[in-house]
Structure 1
Amino acid sequence: MNFPGTVVLETKRLVIRPFCEADAHDMFYNWANSSHVTRYLTWPVYKSVADAEETLNAWVKDYENPKNLNWCIEWKENHQAIGSIGVVHMNEEIEEAEIGYCIGEEYWKKGIMTEALKAVMGFLFNEAGFNRVCARHDTNNPNSGRVMKAAGMLYEGTMLQAGRNNMGICDLTLYAITRDLYFKHSS
């Protein structure tokens, strides 16, 4: 595997790039202050822009590690940071990357997260050399599963009471795709 770090990716509507401290305002107001966005996540609703600044300071410092793959999703139309996507867990032994993501409620159901996920999967297979990309979601959040499926991932199963998020202990649904399947469907 190759770890080039969090490089800039671009799609028709998005710039998927490293975070910077200047993203704090957008992060807070576009997604981190929303109980709807954070409902199925593991971190609490942010109370102020200062919370976003604290997170971003740590994330920017983490970019010193080339294995840190954590992107800001920027909407080209208004140049605002509207969400995040990144590798939340990595298993180098089997060359697997687990993806996590969130996006501001104003941008839901527009295919934006699917577009971002496809771009990140392409990078992970083509540039970083991963063999498997997976993601999981609380079963009570089926829209997240629809994103995974639309990006080409396959349903692998549901793990009973295997996770905890802001709603408590939850069942997790797992989706994944391998490099072979990705390239088979991409051609």
Structure 2
Amino acid sequence: MNCLKTKRLILRHFTEKDINALFAILSDKDVNTFLPMYPLRNIEETKRYFQYIKNYIQQKGLYYAICLKEDNIPIGCIHVSADDSHDLGYSIKKEFWHKGICTESCLAIIDMLKQTNIPYITATHDVNNPRSGKVMKAIGMTYQYSYEELWQPKNFLVTFRMYQLNFDGQKDRVYKKYWDKYPNHFIEEMPL
């Protein structure tokens, strides 16, 4: 599980040689707009974030660099948390937006996860980031509900849409942790 390949991509672990590429991805304010962190400010912060990635993997989470096959240099990242949400997250450099790269990466991760005992994944997106929701739909996830959260560390109110994909045939299972945690929750009428 150290490396996944798709038609255009290699998904692999970040290494110390990727620090500059990781900085290029996560220092961009536009890329960072919908991430639960502030843009990285320098290489020292990036090195600390690289340690965070290593710890994330040690805690049984998945965290991959998204690389083009032609040069194997990270242009984005994709991860799945080890907690009970099995939360899927992704980000990609601006110049690679709208090319289907996140969708292609997510489908590779899903194919791999179907070989494990993880029963489902969830993913959330800010209502102001509908393109992320389009990726979730494109990979077969289903909208479940929305909720408002005072988002940290950025400290502003966000309405999130929660999507889920069950792998074990339990079609009616819904991950309710966010619904239960945040009092302002609701089901939106979603266009097809």
Which TM bucket (shorter chain)? 0.7 to 0.9
Number of the residue aligned with 2:17: 22
Q: Which residue, out of 70, 74, 78, partners 1:85?
A: 78
Number of the residue aligned with 1:164: 151
Q: Distance in 2 between matches of 1:124 and 1:114?
A: 15
Q: Flag structure 2 segments of 5+ consecutive residues without an equivalent.
A: 171-192
Once superposed, what is the RMSD of the aligned Cα atoms?
2.0
Q: TM-score, normalised by structure 2?
A: 0.80
**Matching residue's letter, 2:37:** W
Change (3 A) 1:163 1:118: farther
Give yes or no for the alignment of 1:39 onto 2:33: yes
- Residues 58-89 of structure 1: CA deviation (Å, up to 9, x unaligned): 42355444x13111111112321011111135
Q: Distance in 2 between matches of 1:88 and 1:141?
A: 21
- Residues 119-143 of structure 1: CA deviation (Å, up to 9, x unaligned): 11111122x2211111001111001
Q: Distance in 1 between matches of 2:169 and 2:139?
A: 12
Point out the structure with the larger strand share. 1
Number of the residue aligned with 1:75: 68
Q: TM-score, normalised by structure 1?
A: 0.82
Number of the residue aligned with 1:140: 128
**Which structure is higher in RCO with an 8 Å CA cutoff and minimum separation 6?**
1
Count of residues in correspondence between the two structures: 169
Q: Flag structure 1 segments of 5+ consecutive residues without an equivalent.
A: 1-5, 183-187
Change (3 A) 1:167 1:76: farther
Cα distance, 1:147 vs structure 2 = 0.7
Percent identity reads 30
- Residues 90-113 of structure 1: CA deviation (Å, up to 9, x unaligned): 21xxxx521111111111100000
Contact 1:40 1:167 in 2 (8 A): no
Number of the residue aligned with 1:110: 99
* Partner SS for 2:64: strand
**Matching residue's letter, 1:70:** Y
